[in-house]
Amino acid sequence: MSLPPWIRRLVLRAVSPRDEDEVLGDLEEVYARRSARSGPIRATVVTGVEALGIAGGITVGRLRRAVRGSLMTSSELRLAARLVGRTPLMSLASVAALAVAIGLATTGFTVVAAVLDRELPLPAGDRLVDVTFRDASTGEDRPAPPPATRLGGDAVPGLDHVGLARTAQRNVRHPTGEVELVSEIFITPGSLERLGVPPIVGRGLSAQDALPGAEPVVLLGEAWWAARFNRDPSVVGRILDLGTRSARVVGVLPQEAVYPGPADLWSPLDATPEAAGAARAGTRLFGTLAPGATPALVAASLGALADGWWDAGLVARPVTVSVQRTEDPGPATLPGVVVLSVLIALLVLVAGNVANLIMARTAARRGELAVRTALGAGRGRLVAQISIEVLLMALAAAGVGLWASQRVLAMLAASEAEDLPPWIDLGLDAGVVAFVMGVTLLATLVAGVVPALRATRSQLGGLLRSGGGGPGASSFGRLEDTMIVGQVALSIGILGAALLVHQGWSTEFLDARLGVPSDRILVARMSADAPLSGATLRGLEARLTQLPGVVAAGVGDHTPGVDAPLRQVVLEDEAGGPGTALRVPRARVGPGYFQALGTGPLTGRTFVADDFAADALPVALVNRSFVDRYLGGGNAVGRHIAIPDARPPDAAPALATPSHRIVGVVPDLGLTATDPERAAGVYLPLTTAWSFRAVVQTATQPEGLDEAVRGAAFAVDPGIGVNSTIVLSTSLSALRRVFVVAGWGFTGFGGLVLGLSLLATYALLAFEVTRRTREIGVRVALGARPARILTALLSRVAGYVAVGALVGTGLGYLLVEVARATFVHRFPPTSPWTFLGLAGLALLVGFAAAWIPARRALSVHPVEALRAD
Amino acid sequence: MGGGESSRGAGGQARLGEFELLVLLASLRLGPSEAYAVSITDDIEARTGRRVRRANVYTSLRRLEEKGLVTTGLGDPRPERGGKARRLVTVTESGLAAVQVAAAGIRAMWGGLEHVLGGAT
């Protein structure tokens, strides 16, 4: 009988061609013999098992030969694994510390690499540039000025295509009556073709589609086409009700259409002067570089054009131009590199702590190492064996760290899915794996090879003769001492700053009630595709007020509790002097805004309908903090403030700055989130708006009012899209949560560093006790009291903490000042007691870390100590 | 697996592991025309009464060949082996010397223990 094919295949996979005949032939022979003796079934089973053994044996033999040729042998690996398991607590602490560090570094690397290495999935992605216009005097970003919107395809040297794009939100009313808010991008028709994004169904946009009077057409984005229309190609030709207009679907764009962003609808941008003039707000300019051109060349060309516009009076204010490749991460580069560098430095710090632990453990094995040396093991062999132990722990840590990093990044990607650019990929790729392997090797080098070299540099043979280490300076050295002191200082500094930041962000100012019924106020963010008139906005207020359960409604461009942007105002001098220039938060509101917030004027009045008339005299309101700070608490009604940027953007430069009469004082209503310095602010009438908020106060809980609000907005103007709704109390809680989370993040980091210093202290003292076991035993035998021995050990800890606290206090003060300057928040005065308290905590932590080795020192029996090496 | 590594003894002669010695002895008995993995396995099992895994025989033969104690070569194809040849084993001079050293050592240690072990060989 012939050998079963599966046995033949099994063997052929394992044996080399040289051995095929031999092994298969032997199996054939014994199988035939067994079949004749015991039958084919038993023969198959027995021979199959035998074949498995042969294949396995051959494979293991190959592995052994390969391993024998490398630095490691199987016995070394087993020994390393045994030694790691012999000190489980120390090994676990090392793996945990390395896992955290590797996980943090990997997370940081993945994010930074994704941000810095962006690559648009477009054929022309590498030539795409974004053009930014800025006010020459204030540096603030400005929309593309009117002359820029009329630039033709080759009007700019260095660009072979100039395009315009604008994003919007659009209400789509489906045949079922459902109103859906979708994203829309208006774009110059030739740009999609230039970007290399052909439609997957139907046709793209043509120049004729953008001409005045042309039939309105639209392209669908692939994702929305799939979700809403089940990828039905017959959607081409269908008419969509887009609220203010209807448009015919002419095609579908692929998901690669990601510039200037993914969108559900793509419409031709009417770039005629009239439409462009009206539509310029939010319109961005972009282009594709001509061969050989650079962003600098294009910026120079556009800058010269902009100067000409100013000279010709075509723009209200001079602008500067910057041009940047879309794929260029630009200002994100330096912060990204800094963040990654900090994380890698943290990894090195953690590995350094693990190195101290390894040193301490190796010190306890000096006798064993000496014996191995005497038996012929070279220094390289010993170093390799110690390094293998650390490599095993580092590999375990890398696995855990990589897993944790991927979980965190998955949560981040899910939570930020709508805001992340589509080309940002936070998934696992070859680069991340290579980074993980690299940091694992780095950790092994720092935590394994370096301490192994140091531990084996002395004459281990002499150790056998001398009987071990004696009293004297620790061979840990200045480096380790500096590391421990540094970590104590860092932990005290960071924790101290974190506590103060916590306190600053938790001041009564943030927690102070706005004095409004925030749990019964719904805030709806709205936008329109054309500026809404004051009449429309007041009509919206009226319509919202009529909804069932609504007490009052108003509109404004500010959500209470969010920092309003600072704007320039000039408080006019009543005596006719030059006035006082101020930068204060400023909001524009409708007549119903304050009533919707459940409040009214403290003095004077709030805005009334007459204030919004075209010929109305300019008026303003100020809040209580403004009166206290800038008017000394005096009467504000009747004073005047000038608003320099309240002129229309295209107004002639000679037009005088309007002077607004203050007609009332209102309470502080959250023009700033946390900083009392920014509380003093000004309110102006909201006469026109693209984007604004509707504030709706209800008699009961406002949840469930969303649909009614959408319906009311659509009824007033189908072009009004409701982007989101939130109850005001939830908004305030969410804001506070951001600060609290950030504060805890600092605290957690400081705690991590404190934990590392605990590890380092434990390692040092464990090493000390091991080295000085004989000395301690002799001293105890001679009558030394345990308290003295304990004092000697713990005094070292106290020394580290004292120096670390001094340095850490200085560091903490510095960090708080940086935070104060960066976030413009008022933190309480830095208290030295905070740092003293933390120094006490660090001392307790240090003593706790010293407890185990100290207890071991006290339990040393003199007889055993004298026998110790 | 295997019968232990050989090492060099005094005079540079290879020291044999226990299993390697059995493999060499079986090879010598069977001769260069009949000694191959299957027959070596059968011989050891028959004489010692212990279960032998042929994988271990293969490993030992590789090791012995690497140390120059045996040479191997393919014989003629055999029908009972599906037309495949046997890899026949020939003990070299070095291998024979190693066996003699091992045997001498065993005899030397055996001496004087007849009354305990029940008859010398």
To the nearest whole percent, how much of chain A has pLDDT over 70? 82
Question: Which residues in chain B are contacts of A53 at CB distance < 8 A?
Answer: 53, 55
Q: What is the DSSP string of B24-58?
A: HHHHHHH-TTT-SHHHHHHHHHHHH-----HHHHH
Mean pLDDT of A450-459: 72
Q: Is A422's pLDDT higher than 50?
A: yes
Q: Is A553's pLDDT higher than 90?
A: yes
What is the per-residue pLDDT for A665?
96
What is the per-residue pLDDT for A508?
46
- Binned at pLDDT 50, 70 and 90, residue A674 comes out as low
What is the per-residue pLDDT for A64?
65
Is B82 close to A24, i.e. CB distance below 8 A?
yes
- Report field, pTM of the whole predicted structure over 0.95: no
What is the per-residue pLDDT for A509?
47
Are the C-beta atoms of residues B24 and B91 closer than 8 Å to each other?
yes
Q: Is B74's pLDDT higher than 60?
A: yes
- Binned at pLDDT 50, 70 and 90, residue B95 comes out as very high
Mean pLDDT of A415-423: 60
Mean pLDDT of A412-422: 64
What is the per-residue pLDDT for A419?
57
Each residue's pLDDT tens digit, A155-209 = 788 888 888 888 877 888 888 877 788 888 989 888 888 888 889 989 999 888 8
What is the per-residue pLDDT for A72?
55
Amino acid identity of residue A365, one-letter, is R
Q: Which two tokens stand for residue A328?
A: 């260029």
Is B56 close to A24, i.e. CB distance below 8 A?
no
Q: Least CB-CB distance to B58: which of A3, A32, A54?
A: A54
Q: Is A154's pLDDT higher than 50?
A: yes
Report how far Cα A59 is from the mean position of its chain's Cα atoms.
Answer: 47
Mean pLDDT of B68-80: 90
Nearest-angstrom CA–CA distance, A281 and A195: 23
What is the per-residue pLDDT for B1?
38
Q: How many residue pairs bridge chain A and chain B with CB atoms within 8 Å of each other?
A: 61
**H or E element, residue A666:** strand A659-666
Q: Which two tokens stand for residue A863?
A: 């007889």
Are the C-beta atoms of residues A138 and A369 closer than 8 Å to each other?
no
What residues contact residue A15 under an 8 Å CB cut-off, 6+ apart?
A: A23, A24, A54, A55, A58
Nearest-angstrom CA–CA distance, A13 and A9: 6
Each residue's pLDDT tens digit, A470-516 = 433 334 567 677 777 877 787 777 777 777 766 665 544 455 556 78
Please state, rounded to an integer, the average pLDDT across all residues of chain B: 86
Is A25 close to B78, i.e. CB distance below 8 A?
yes
Nearest-angstrom CA–CA distance, A88 and A95: 10
Burial state string for A538-558 with b = 16 or more CB within 10 A and e = fewer than 16 = bebbebbbeeeebbbbbbbbb
Burial class (CB in 10 A: 0-12, 13-18, 19+), A168: buried
Q: Is B14's pLDDT higher than 80?
A: no
Q: Taking Cα atoms as reference points, which of A500, A529, A517, A394 lies closest to residue A94? A: A394
Q: Least CB-CB distance to A3: which of B37, B59, B82?
A: B82
Q: Which of A465-469, A674-678, A684-688, B116-120 has the lowest mean pLDDT?
A: A465-469
SS3 content of chain B, % helix, strand, coil (to 5): 55, 15, 30
- Binned at pLDDT 50, 70 and 90, residue A48 comes out as very high
Q: Is A826's pLDDT higher than 60?
A: no
Give the residue from chain A lying closest to B83, CA to CA: A25
Q: Is B60's pLDDT higher than 90?
A: yes
| Nearest CA-CA distance, residue A21 and chain B, Å | 6
Q: Least CB-CB distance to A53: which of B55, B62, B87?
A: B55
- Binned at pLDDT 50, 70 and 90, residue A736 comes out as low
What is the Cα Rg of chain A in Å? 37
Is B59 close to A57, i.e. CB distance below 8 A?
yes
Question: Which residues in chain B are contacts of A60 at CB distance < 8 A?
Answer: 1
